[in-house]
A and B are shown apart, each in its own frame.
Chain A
């Protein structure tokens, strides 16, 4: 089976340029992940036909979409703050799309009621958007987008308007609806957790271009930029490998679990870093001297930022911190086990 989407999106807006190649297989859920201002939403709007391409093409099932206006593209969009029409009830919002496609009023309302039922809001059909909770509004928006039977479903930060508590439940529901949806879905998010939970494939965007893509599990283990490393919570370095030894320059060398040659990335989790006030006995590998740059609580651990030749984050237990009696500016020895240090080709 061929690709459903084959697109190259080039949008120039002042000094900013988005240049993004995007492909998606049938039924695939692709997440565009990136920091604010990376161009994710612009890419989504370009796919929907709301922002014109400066260059490039959008082919869906071999049909060119790029010269069609938005209303003639079979897309469904869930906007960031949902944009439910405030003067229409939930039911009328969902019926809006089918009505525009020429369906009779009664038929459209019946279909809309079906969709509301499917997202679990059959009893809220008559309510106006402003009386709905955030999670309910998100589901109405999803029903409205799906009611037009789109080939391509676009979701712009579908969970960002929700508080942490509702988010969990809504994410799980959204995941089920995405699994039921037969078309392809592209979702935009800056939250790695949403991306990992919902997507089959991540496309990481920074400054308008793709910096990394792949399956969520792969991206999580093999970050290729500082941004991705921060998202997935790993310390990331670039170096040169000779067998198991990776040189980071400035005389600092690490032993990694993998044997490679040439330019590599080296990554290890903050929890793999052990700290010592004095140089530990024996000579553990991957040992270096650092200065404590900052200390802050991180979940049930304490995260310590290390300055020096190797900048790193280290997680220790509050008990361990008390024992070490560390303060900002203190010298400290840091060590990482080779087994927890992963190298992969750059």
Chain B
């Protein structure tokens, strides 16, 4: 009874990927991949996803730690807020970012006036949009790891004279490293594939804000073959990430 729908589900997931592989212009793949605009989009994607992940690690690990360890009023609300970008349509996230960090936005106005920083339609804006969408992946993964970590190791560190910071740095962080690693990979993968928030908040300027997914979308209009090639590159990156994740953290 269950085998048929299961097979159907599997086919549904595999068929599009097969289509991608079958329709790929394998003969011209090399020359197409070497085209400067593709390399440029790929470089921009990798750099911005990596920067977004670093930013998420910097703020997300402490946030996850607080959510897991500190009992404060409204913790459930904060946790719900953190997960909002997970369910929010990315385009809406982009609009929200424009309203908050745009030139006339709530915080953007001050960024512009005080520091002369404008985020929308810049590479930094790409990083911001990707981080906004990807942060929940990291926080959820790390919070789970912090919750699962044995608190008594921190007790042991305290009796050895470790301050809270030393304990966090030398005991807690290494203990939750697998969770942080898995979270960072998910976060990076999500940032790499980010489309809606990026195009809304950062626009679609080749070399500056045009990441791979944006380039795929644009190429589909006027050069479908190029779109397939770009998609193949993203697919390859995803598979590599998945393989890395399995090998290192899932076993």
Q: Please give, as numbers and ranges, the residues of chain B lying within 8 Å of A69 by CB-CB distance.
A: 158
Q: Cβ of B156 and Cβ of A83 under 8 Å apart?
A: yes
Identify the closest chain B residue to A51 (Cβ): B155
Q: Cβ of A70 and Cβ of B158 under 8 Å apart?
A: yes
Q: Please give, as numbers and ranges, the residues of chain B lying within 8 Å of A148 by CB-CB distance.
A: 160-161
Q: Cβ of B175 and Cβ of A87 under 8 Å apart?
A: yes
User: B132-153: which have CB < 8 Å to A?
Assistant: 150, 152-153
Identify the closest chain B residue to A94 (Cβ): B160
Q: Give which listed residue, B161, B171, B174, contacts A71 with CB less than 8 A.
A: B161
A75 vs B161: C-alpha distance when bound (angstroms) = 9
Per the CB 8 Å criterion, the residue count for chain A at the interface is 26
The reply on A144 being an interface residue by CB < 8 A is yes
- Contact-residue bracket for chain B: 10 to 19
Q: Cβ of B175 and Cβ of A144 under 8 Å apart?
A: no
Q: Cβ of A48 and Cβ of B160 under 8 Å apart?
A: no
The reply on B104 being an interface residue by CB < 8 A is no
Identify the closest chain B residue to A48 (Cβ): B159
Q: Please give, as numbers and ranges, the residues of chain B lying within 8 Å of A83 by CB-CB distance.
A: 150, 152-153, 155-156
Task: Knowing A85-B171, A87-B174, A87-B175, say if A97 contacts B152 (CB, 8 Å).
Answer: no
Prevailing SS type, chain B contact patch: helix
Task: Knowing A87-B174, A87-B175, say if A79 contacts B156 (CB, 8 Å).
Answer: yes
The smallest C-beta distance from B6 to any residue of chain A, in angstroms, reads: 39
The reply on A259 being an interface residue by CB < 8 A is no
A96 vs B177: C-alpha distance when bound (angstroms) = 19
Given contacts A75-B159, A100-B160, A100-B163, 8 further A-B contacts (CB under 8 A): A50-B155, A73-B159, A79-B155, A83-B153, A85-B174, A96-B157, A100-B157, A144-B160
Which residues does A use to contact B, with CB under 8 Å? 45, 48-50, 69-73, 75-77, 79, 83, 85-88, 96-97, 100-101, 144-145, 148, 154
A sample of 30 cross-chain residue pairs with beta-carbon separation below 8 angstroms, ordered by A number, consists of A49-B159, A50-B159, A69-B158, A70-B155, A70-B159, A71-B158, A71-B159, A71-B161, A71-B162, A73-B159, A76-B160, A77-B159, A79-B156, A83-B152, A83-B153, A83-B155, A83-B156, A85-B156, A85-B174, A86-B175, A87-B175, A96-B157, A97-B161, A100-B157, A100-B160, A100-B161, A100-B162, A100-B163, A145-B159, A148-B160
